[in-house]
Structures are given as C-alpha cells and as structure tokens.
Homo-oligomer: A and B are copies of this chain.
Amino acid sequence: MRQITYCDAINEAMLQEMERDPQIFVYGLGVPDHKRIFGSTKGLVEIFGKDRCFDMPLSEDAMSGFGLGAAINGMKPVYIHIRADFLLLCMNQLANMISSYRYSSNGMLKAPMVIRVIMGRGWGQGHQHSKSLYSMFSHIPGLKVVLPTTPYDAKGLLISAIRDEDPVLVFEHRWLYWQTGEVPEKSYTIPFGQPNVLRTGKDITIVATSWMNVESVKAADILEKRGISVEIIDPRTIAPFNVEPIINSVNKTGHCIVADNDWVEYGFSAEAAALIYSKCMGNLKSPIARIGFAFTPCPTARHLENAFYPNAINIIRCIEEKLDLSPTDLTGEDFYSHENRFKGPF
C-alpha cells in the first residue's frame, strides 16, 4: 500500500473531510500562512478559500468560544493549536463550556468541534512550549481525547474526530510528523476506544502513548535480539479509554510498563495503572512501571532535555529489571534522534 507521512495523512484527512462536508472550517493562529502548521494544512486555503481556512487575532479564549458557537449552530469547526501549552488559555471554554454544552442543553444543542493540538519535544523550546496536558482533558466529562501514533491512525482518527458529534481533542506529536506508514487513499474512520496492538509478545506488555510507541518499538527491537518478546499496545484514545485489550495482554505477560509522553504524576499512567491493577491483580509478577517526563518544568539545554525526556533506553533498562536480565550492551545501537533533521523550534 501507499506509504505517506503522518503529516500528509493529517493533511489528507482534512482535505477529504472538507471536501465531503461544507460545514467544516479550519482556523487558528497561522493556519493559512506559508508554514501551514508544519505542512498539515497545506492546500486548504487554496481549495476551500479564506472562508473555510482562516487566521485570527491572538485570542485563544475567544477563539475557543467562537468554535463552540459555530458548532451549536450546525458547523464543524477544527481549531488548531501549534503548541499544547496554549490550551491553558482555553481552559475556561473547554472545561466550563464546550465540555458541557450538550449536557446542560439536555441534548438540544451539540458541540461537534475538533481541536487539533501539536505537542512534542522541541529543540530548547523550554517549559512553555513542551507540555502534553492531555490527561487534564480526560478528567473532564464531555471531552474526548485522541492520540494518534501512526500515519494510518492520524488519518482515520482525525476523520472520526471530525464526524463525531461531541468535542474531540486530537494531540499530534511533532516528531511523529516525519514518520511514514501505509495509509489508504480513500477515506476511512477508526472507532474510538479501540487500542492498537503495535506488536505482539509474551514476556511483557508496554502501554504507550503517542511518541512513546516509537521509543517502545525501538526498545522491543533491541531486546528481541536477546529473545525477549514485548507486546506493545497503543490505546489511541484515552477518553474514551478501553482498557480491556490491555488487561488481557497483561494477564498473559504478567508484566506491564506504562510509557506515557507526559509527566507521570497524576497523568495517564496513573489512570491506566489503576485500571490494569484492578483487573490483573493475581497475574502481575511485578508492579506496573510508569515511565514519563521528569517531574520538573522542561529545561532548554540539550543535556538537561535529555535527562528530562524518557526514551528507548529507559524502557530497555526497565524491562531488564522486571525480567531480571543483565544490562544489554547498547553500544552501536542507533537511537532515535532528530538532531540531524531538526534544527530550530519545532
């Protein structure tokens, strides 16, 4: 099948959906400018015009309410944030208004709005341009939270998000934009609440979100050479979060790591671990390990950033500990790094 990038998959989803439904419009800071949100909005303003693809003043709070208002009046807004941190300016509309408009109108009005959010490790971006934040929204009833990892998921989940009748936040990791994978040309949806088994294995289960799936696959590749078989499950949507397939996996392997692209404390890894434990108690051979960011604001210097972000090596060491393995010799292994393609801010 055709291979395209994650970025192009997003772009194709936008194009096909806007083609399909004239009520869809896309807006946000810089959406139609020549950088086109890292390329993910390319072609939209040319094809659909300035009415359906537009920029705005820097007013995140009002822009959020604006989307809600258009949504309850029958439109399908897609609001893009180039950094997840900017969502903090939208919290009132997101958690006091958008999340509850349907409920408080007892279903007479709905808010089918999509919020595309780019997160991800920068390049000395620092503490205000590096947050993930998705677990916060998962705590609010009325919001759906989606984390596509593969190009296939990026397209299918975004299309599902746009067709959903409720507000959906889609978090895209900047580093995933360059990943390639098989993506059908025709339009398709992926139902929410269906985890994706990225790799089957029998020795340990990794539940990974977003970019951490890439790190997990790398770790699994390396350990496979030693005969260790790792199962990797990507929940893909964390609200709704379907933990069943994960429970089955952990009951099989007896070990579990939750590798989350966020702070560990009070994040997705807490909810995931709590649910897994509750259903796997007798079968767990070791406590669930939770891997995530260091619990500090994100520093800028590269060596501190390296200490802040978890990666495949942390996962390997964690697996070794759980399975009582000697440390793998990692010399000569080529770990993922954007050093060479990625200079300047993401």
Binding site for B on A (CB under 8 A): 85, 88-89, 91-92, 94-96, 99-100, 103-104, 126-128, 131, 135-136, 138-142, 239, 263, 265-271, 273-274, 277-279, 281, 284, 287-288, 290, 295-297, 299
CB neighbours of A85 from chain B (8 A) = 96
Given A277-B288, A288-B278, verify A100-B297 contact (CB < 8 Å): yes
26 contacts between A and B (CB under 8 A): A88-B95, A89-B91, A91-B92, A95-B131, A96-B127, A100-B128, A100-B297, A103-B297, A104-B126, A104-B127, A104-B297, A138-B266, A139-B265, A141-B297, A239-B265, A265-B271, A266-B270, A269-B274, A270-B273, A273-B273, A274-B277, A277-B281, A277-B287, A278-B287, A281-B284, A281-B287
Interchain CA distance A100-B126 in the complex, whole Å: 11
The 10 closest A-B pairs by CB, nearest first: A139-B266, A273-B274, A100-B297, A277-B277, A91-B91, A278-B287, A270-B270, A270-B271, A88-B92, A88-B91
CB neighbours of A270 from chain B (8 A) = 266, 270-271, 273-274
Interchain CA distance A128-B333 in the complex, whole Å: 52
